Amino acid sequence: MLARLRQSLIAVGDWGDFTARSAYWFLPKRFRARHGGIPSAATFAQTDRLAFGAIPLVSIVLFFVGMILALQLATILKLLGVIEYVPDIVAVAVVREMAPLLTGVVLSGYAGAAIAAEIGSMKVSDELEAMRSLALSPERFLVAPRLLAAAISGPLLTIFACYVGMAGGLVVSWLLLGISPGMYLQRTLDALNLGAVILGATKGLAFALIVTGISCYRGFNVTGGAVGVGKATTTAVVQSVVAVIAADLFLTVLFFHVE
């Protein structure tokens, strides 16, 4: 028991050191002793990969989830005689909860596994040590661009997912529930407010950073060759999903007391 606790504390300290070394490159130049910034080419490449590469999968998942939400809500609201409230609840549920959460989960499997595998392969082939021997910071060239790309892609993907999820609810409401598109859109606009949009975008930002940070950390700490890369990839995905759900609870409680 004590040995596991000790290992956990060491892992937390190691993760904190890794995070600090990576966040160092986000400081303004006048606050850094080392010159150079975050490579723009790598940042654009990672943004294209995270933001645009995940669009098809996010679209499929959120469209179906929006349809499912509308159908499940209709079953209950129809009994209460207030089926016209389906657009309101779908909009709030998608923007505040489902879009950021499912986007984070999709990124865990889509991008998290790939990031951990890429960096882990570089670790077992000693490419990271070769970079350090040339006085090049792996955190600057590998981690910082991915974190910056995640900060850009997370909110954008979440906002896109909101539209797709509400579109799924609109299709079901129009074709199966008898709610016209005009009425659906009007009730959706009435149900949403700035606070809901800020909460959804904030969650999207946080979840993308969590997934990318955990995946990079696991890649940097691979041991055991190809087998280790596989284990690190699996661990990165599992830990990312759990961390995203835990962060979702924390942010939901925080905004509940702030609003």
Query: Each residue's pLDDT tens digit in the chain (259 positions)?
Result: 666 777 767 776 777 778 778 888 887 777 776 667 788 888 899 998 888 888 999 999 999 999 999 999 888 888 888 888 999 999 999 999 999 999 999 999 888 889 999 999 999 888 888 888 888 888 888 999 999 999 999 999 999 999 999 999 999 999 988 889 999 999 999 998 888 899 999 999 999 999 999 999 999 888 888 888 989 999 999 999 999 999 999 999 988 877 6
Running DSSP on this structure, what letter comes out for residue 26? Answer: G
Write out the residue range of the structural domain in which residue 228 sits. 38-258
The answer as to whether 230 is a domain residue is yes
The answer as to whether 48 is a domain residue is yes
How many residues make up the chain in this entry?
Answer: 259
Number of H helices, E strands in the chain: 12, 0
d(CA 79, CA 138): 59
Running DSSP on this structure, what letter comes out for residue 15? Answer: H
The answer as to whether 177 is a domain residue is yes
pLDDT given at position 78: 85
The answer to pTM > 0.85 is yes
pLDDT given at position 259: 65
pLDDT given at position 15: 74
CA distances from 40 to 2, 135, 155, 192 (A): 45, 19, 19, 36
Q: Which two tokens stand for residue 53?
A: 């590469």
The answer as to whether 141 is a domain residue is yes
The answer as to whether 46 is a domain residue is yes
Using DSSP's 3-state secondary structure scheme, residue 33 falls into coil
The answer as to whether 10 is a domain residue is no
pLDDT given at position 95: 94
The answer as to whether 31 is a domain residue is no
pLDDT given at position 25: 81
Number of structural domains (the chain) is 1
pLDDT given at position 237: 93
The answer as to whether 231 is a domain residue is yes
